[in-house]
A and B are shown apart, each in its own frame.
Chain A
Amino acid sequence: MFDISTNTSFFERFWNAKFIIIDGLNNTLIVSFAAIILGTILGLIIGLIITYGNKYIKLPFKALVDIIRGLPLLVTIFIIYYYLDFILKSIGITMSPMVIGIIALTLFCSAQISELVRGALQNIPKQQIDAGRALGMRFYQILKDILLPQALVEILPPWVNSATEIVKGSTLLSLVSISELMLVGKQLVARHPKALAYYSIIGLIYFTINTIIEYGGKALEKKVSFVNK
């Protein structure tokens, strides 16, 4: 009834939109994986600072992590989107919305990861550090050879969870008009009001990405824990 060109079926229209969808998927994957990788690195560093840093250094990081974990991701995205844009514009830099999206998701990811890292490091008995010191190892060596190998294996399962969390969170970027898969879905629905069909297909794509990550993570877990034994 709403169809203007009456004799094109849903699948024909969907097929015609394939390049737009692939484009959106591409952006989703870029944003998600950039955020996961950068967020993991940043989260590791912040986690180490919070666990082993001195009182004054760790305070601002702890505050930042607590604030980001207390905020809904959507609010973090809005705040980064408006604030960073304003600050950068006033010093004469324009940033593409994609980069702003990556920054917001990276912050969110690093807050999650730093908590995981802190938990894992605090679970390792203190005596192991003492033992390392007694052998004359420097802190960097203790970290590299004793603490991190154990902590990283321990955080692997929740880390995989965070990764799927980020992929899911990237859909929120559509609400600040970053053209990822979700926004493409919305645009397709706006042009051709078959909401159920389009959103189900888009949902299926996200489901597939996350399921692949989940199974990949499980396979990796098996491999790593085998090496560790």
Chain B
Amino acid sequence: MNYHFNFNVVFRNIDVFLEALVLALFLAVVSLTLAIIIGLMIALGATSNHKSMKKAARVYVTIFRNTPLLILVYIIYFGLPDLGLTLSKNVAFIFTLSLYGAAYMTEVFRAGLESIPKGIIEAGYAIGLSRFQTMMDIKLPIMFRSVLPSMGNYLISLFKDTSLSSAIAIPEITYITKKLNVQSFRTFEVWIAAALLYVITSYLMARIINLLERKWKIK
């Protein structure tokens, strides 16, 4: 086994790597934002008193948590054109990842909403707040603070899931690494670079989330 390491290809293409990283972060952040919005709506349905809404939320979560993300990407990117709906690569991937992430966010928000003590909400009604005001001023602020750590974890996990977009040729980290691998045959070097990029980015994200958590902690 004599393999001579030569990291030139990585250094020469450092801008390509960074561009890919920015794209991956963009996909993750946009998907998380949409997932939070969709997840919040479904979670409000899941914690409401309507039986049918509860059931619908349950079905949504079960379907999206038990189906592989890659299949969902293929169904939406390759399958929807069969129904006459053609999405561009980026839109299709963001759409899929937000629907997928929303299922996880629903569970997070549901747990957060259920953990709010009933007394606080009743106190809100008692001082004459409407249902909407109670939700905006009491339920949601309390919930968001308590679910912040898990939301951070899902941001990291969505960031890692963006690697699947290489399957539909979106030029993020995994895709360009595969491409550089084929172009340069520097298999070890390019994959080490990609791995470092992923590990360092997820580590930094975890640190930033940790800081925010400490800053917004209820004292």
Contacts and interface: CB of A to CB of B under 8 A. Distances in A.
B87 to A, nearest CB: 13
Contacts of A146: none
Contact of B163 (A72, A202, A206): A72
A75 B68 contact: no
Given A78-B191, A87-B1, A72 B71 contact: no
Contacts of B66: 164, 168, 206-207, 210-211, 214
Nearest to B173: A75
B83 A206 contact: no
Nearest to A79: B191
B70 A171 contact: yes
Contact of B198 (A71, A171, A174): A71
A196 B83 contact: yes
Interface string A160-197: 00001001110110110000001001100100001111
Given A78-B174, A199-B78, A207 B67 contact: yes
A164 B195 CA distance: 24
A83 interface: yes
B75 A200 contact: yes
Given A71-B195, A195-B81, A200-B79, A91 B72 contact: no
A207 to B, nearest CB: 5
B208 interface: no
B79 A195 contact: yes
Interface string A193-229: 0111101101100110011001000000000000000
Interface string A56-91: 000000000011001111110011001100110011
Contacts of A207: 63, 66-67
A194 B164 CA distance: 22
**Which residue of B1, B3, B68, B83 has the most chain A CB atoms within 10 A of its CB atom?**
B68
B160 interface: yes
A87 B68 CA distance: 31
Contacts of A197: 79, 82
Contacts of B67: 168, 203, 206-207, 210
Interface string A27-41: 000000000000000
B195 A79 contact: yes
Contacts of B203: 70
A199 B1 contact: no
B197 to A, nearest CB: 9
A86 B187 CA distance: 10
Nearest to B82: A196
B202 interface: yes
B71 A203 contact: yes
Contacts of A71: 160, 195, 198-199
A175 B69 CA distance: 13
Given A71-B198, A72-B160, A74-B164, A83 B188 contact: yes
25 contacts: A70-B198, A70-B202, A71-B160, A72-B160, A72-B162, A72-B163, A73-B163, A75-B195, A82-B188, A90-B1, A164-B65, A168-B66, A171-B70, A171-B71, A175-B166, A175-B167, A185-B71, A195-B75, A196-B78, A199-B75, A203-B67, A203-B68, A207-B67, A211-B66, A214-B66
Given A70-B198, A71-B199, 10 more contacts: A72-B164, A74-B174, A168-B67, A171-B71, A174-B70, A195-B75, A196-B83, A207-B63, A210-B65, A211-B62
